[in-house]
Amino acid sequence: MNTSQHPDLGASLEQSRSGLRDTHRRSLMRALFLVTGSALVVFGCLQILNGYIWLATGELIASLILFFGITRINRTPRLQVWIYSYLVTGFSFALLIMLVPEASVSAFVWVLMIPVLAYLLLGKREGFLLSAPFMVAGCITFYFHLEFVADAGGVIDLLNMVLCAILMLGFIHLYETRREEAEQKLFTLAQTDALTGLANRANFQSTLDRTLAECARSGSGFALVIMDIDHFKVVNDTMGHDAGDHVLQNIGKQLTERLRITDAVGRLGGEEFGLILRDVKLEDSFQLMDELRQRIADSELPYGDALIRVTASFGIAHYPDHAIEAETLFRIADRCLFSSKRAGRNRVARAGLSPVKGPLATART
């Protein structure tokens, strides 16, 4: 049964593991393109004044590519390719500058920017894999650049650089790990009903929308079921709210245990649950729900010294037999549920047919 590992949630988490969310990554890339593109124009002009025509040409061409990138980055489906191209070229270029014998010591501060950009744009795993080798290469280049590493001043410079690079990488790694965990927790909370652990209404609705789209493509059918516990108020009023909560949790468990992994269950609110049964015919979904109804009616739930018995009513709408839109399916299933309740409760009703009679509802302690 598919609840907490909701595919939409999975996709969101996958995006979260790539560093910033897509829209933020695009904004950051645009800002980076603008800043580096402009800086390259300035550097290019300075190189011309210094007489380094080839270097100036390279920098000006790179700045043109970056300005072109600003116009593309918002719409490109290949965001990851753009990010990798930018980071690998940028980091390699920074290393190249550091390798030039006349390079200023200040050029090496860019080594510390490597993990910041890589983690923000690629997330923890890929960010580490990309930044670690470039940072090591930067530190080694710095070592050779110092030349007089044997004297105390050189050793201090080298240690400052290495320590700062390690701390930078470590802190960013820790920060990104915590951020991913917090985001994962928030996603789960936002999509889950806290009491039962099932998908909440919004999560269930998006599963229904996705199921509709998939079934429209594959041509298969599914059933939307709305289930409501009968006279649930009596349980709350006679045994207390905690007993009511206990019943809701137990019913949630019974539903998830009985259904297939490809099916979905959610708590729509109060004592109402929603079920999506994939690849079933109307008649089969009816049989399955009647079996579930009987199982709920037969079970006795221990609570303290008492045994609680409840019954439930069901309404079924079938895609595509009854409707092909989520809203209409919901309306039909709801109408069927209402007719089950009106006919005496503890029943299953499907659209187009009259409710099938079952034994009367009971709530007994």
Ligand X SMILES: Nc1nc2c(ncn2[C@@H]2O[C@H](COP(=O)(O)OP(=O)(O)OP(=O)(O)O)[C@@H](O)[C@H]2O)c(=O)[nH]1
Binding site for ligand X (CB under 6 A): 195, 228-233, 236, 241, 244-245, 248, 270-271, 341, 345
In the complex, least distance from residue 345 CB atom to ligand X, rounded to whole angstroms: 6
User: Among all residues, whose Cβ is closest to ligand X?
Assistant: 244
Residue 344 CB, nearest approach to ligand X (Å): 10
Residue whose CB is less far from ligand X, 158 or 356:
356
Identify the CA nearest to 312 among candidates 333, 290, 285, 283.
290
Which residue's CB is nearer to ligand X, number 273 or number 330? Answer: 273
Which residue, 117 or 235, has its beta carbon nearer to ligand X? 235
How deeply is 192 buried, as exposed, middle or buried, from its count of CB atoms within 10 A (0-12, 13-18, 19+)? buried
CB of 232 to ligand X, least distance (A): 3
Q: Is the peptide bond before 302 cis (omega within 30 degrees of 0)?
A: no
Q: Which is nearer to ligand X, 66 or 239 (CB)?
A: 239
CA distance 235 to 256: 22
* Least distance to ligand X, CB of residue 354, Å: 19
Q: How far is the CB of 195 from ligand X (least distance, A)?
A: 5
Looking at the Cβ atoms of 127 and 244, the one nearer to ligand X is 244
